[in-house]
Structure 1
């Protein structure tokens, strides 16, 4: 369990932060950028949830929790040395990726196939889900970049990739099952 009795510690005043294994790194390090952008994605889920109800709200709440797990995974390097931690570090699992895929398939089953790209908008919930999608894509790009220089759990990267797709399909669901999607019209304003 996490206990936060004091919010400011002053340990980051020099521009460094601690990773999950205790190592100190610059706050601008690729690893911090990756899990920081996962946190940003999660904050936008909070905005989306202001407009969500029922199953959509429950799914977003679960994904929000998953993103804390993902941040915990990304903030702990040295996956090969997990056994030395004295506990099992939290890592994303392939089953979490598969759950997103199943949810995407279920949501997409009732949607009319797209004949155009979609512009963000329609309902407030859809617009917020598209914002979640674009920030999630940035988190994915940063995690992929990090993986070129340091070990990263492949399931974490896959989860981000599927999650952005989940947000896209959920955005269509939030637009009256795609009936109120705002479609791109190429060259409309020429």
Structure 2
């Protein structure tokens, strides 16, 4: 089976509805940004240390599956997998992490361990995906409140995971201003 179809050679792609749209269509842009985030989480998981594989890779795998569900929710009319329960689970995880690690009293520079740096990068890709989903919602397709809430919390969750990765590794976080 060939994986190329040549249907996009003219700058369009087919939506799940069968309609052809430009590849820069807001829905296609949002799906592309979510796909990039999903792929980057796979890179972070693949490069995780042995110690990180036990606690972090299951979290990243769950997030990757949720991102696939989120893409389906955006692609398929009347498909709704992401719910407020997902949002509440993110909030609970963020609260758990932030309560376990030292509080921050200044802006921190993205970085630290390779895993934490990768998670910080994932956070920025999540923010871009959020902007794309918001633009889609505002201009073309109502995506629903749970999706907007989920994608808004996701970057916060990735920030918390990055801080947790540094904390577990004993890596000090660099402040934005030298002390």
Matched, 1:184 2:173: no
Matched, 1:112 2:102: yes
Q: SS at the partner of 1:109?
A: helix
Larger relative helix fraction: 2
2:130 corresponds to? 140
TM-score normalised by length of structure 1:
0.85
Report the Cα offset of residue 30 of structure 1. Answer: 0.9
- RMSD of the TM alignment (CA)? 1.7
Give 2:154's match in structure 1, choosing from 158, 163, 166.
163
1:86 corresponds to? none
8 Å Cα contact 1:20-1:72 kept in structure 2: no
Q: Distance in 2 between matches of 1:108 and 1:161?
A: 17
Runs of at least 5 residues in structure 1 that lack an aligned partner in the other structure: 83-88
TM-score normalised by length of structure 2:
0.90
Q: SS at the partner of 1:118?
A: coil
Q: 1:6 to 1:156 in 2, by over 3 A?
A: farther
Regions of 4+ moved over 3 Å:
none
Equivalent pairs counted in the alignment come to 173
Q: SS at the partner of 2:2?
A: coil
Matched, 1:101 2:91: yes
8 Å Cα contact 1:117-1:183 kept in structure 2: yes
